[in-house]
Amino acid sequence: MKTSAMLRHTLLTCAALVFIFPVLVMISTSLKPLAEINEGSLFALPREPTLEPWLKAWGTACLSGACRGISGSFANSLAIVIPSVIGSLVVGGVTGFAMSLRLSRLADWLLKAVLIGLFIPIQVTLFPLIILIRELGLFGTRTGIILVHVLWGMPFVCLLLRNHFLTVPRSLIHAARIDGAGFLDILRHVILPQSLPICGVALALQFTFIWNEFLLGLTFAGPGNEPITVALSVLTGAQYGVQEYNVNMAATLLAALPTLAIYLLYGKIFLRGVTTGSTND
């Protein structure tokens, strides 16, 4: 038994090292002066650590002719992600709750129609979305990219929350109806208080997807509204001049901080949501 436990811990430790090693290399590289990178080994620890690459990545790195770093794109991503996550949770939650109340053949077909969106690649829907957003007069605006993210995230959130709402005892819903509660009242006062863990899962996953998404941001955001992923692509994909690997690594780590913070702050809620229904109390 002890041998089995030791083997398991060894394998887990090796897996953790495999995943964390590239991050450690990125952190080390981001703390080196450029001359030290050019003269030394990629895996060597910094001899003279400096935060200059981080400061340059944030405030003075040149992107498309403007030397303002990634701070503006970072703010753009926050302005896009927050309303997009809230919108997809609201629309997906209301839709999922409505579908959980209707267990019929029609409801099954409606659910299948919604879930088709989960299996269609973004590239396939790109042209119809462009036409839709253009006709609404929102192409190249922040509102347009937010609407696209809400539409794209709704099927996933709907499926996730509907499946959880089905586990809520029907007796609670019937009792609320007898007391005179309507659809939204039941959702707000009966269903949501019991669904905070799964809502945390939906929030974390939607935040991560939208923050890290590149193609939709590149296509719909428009000049001045580019998210952080587009800024990183411009910064690290420059074909001319000296490649500042330390600045690139620092910018990449800065871009990863919000998603890391989400999982650190909501880790326990996320795990509770993932394991909801897997054990009986």
E-state strands within 61-183: 62-63, 66-67
Longest distance between any two alpha carbons in the chain, whole Å: 76
**pLDDT of the residue at 249:** 92
pLDDT in tens, 164-181: 888 888 888 888 888 888
Asked whether 160 and 201 are in contact (CB, 8 A), the reply is yes
pLDDT band per the 50, 70, 90 thresholds, residue 269: low
Higher pLDDT, 41 or 208: 208
Mean pLDDT value across residues 136-160: 92
pLDDT band per the 50, 70, 90 thresholds, residue 148: very high
75-84, 113-122, 189-198, 261-270: lowest mean pLDDT where? 261-270
**pLDDT of the residue at 276:** 54
- List helix spans (H) across 136-244: 142-165, 170-178, 183-186, 196-212, 215-220, 228-236
**pLDDT of the residue at 279:** 42
Q: Sketch out the chain's domains with CATH numbers.
A: 2-50 (no CATH), 71-274 (1.10.3720.10)
Contacts of 232 (CB under 8 A, 6+ apart): 70, 251, 252, 255
Asked whether 205 and 224 are in contact (CB, 8 A), the reply is no
Distance CA 209, CA 157 (A): 12
Asked whether 97 and 191 are in contact (CB, 8 A), the reply is yes
pLDDT in tens, 104-116: 777 778 888 877 8
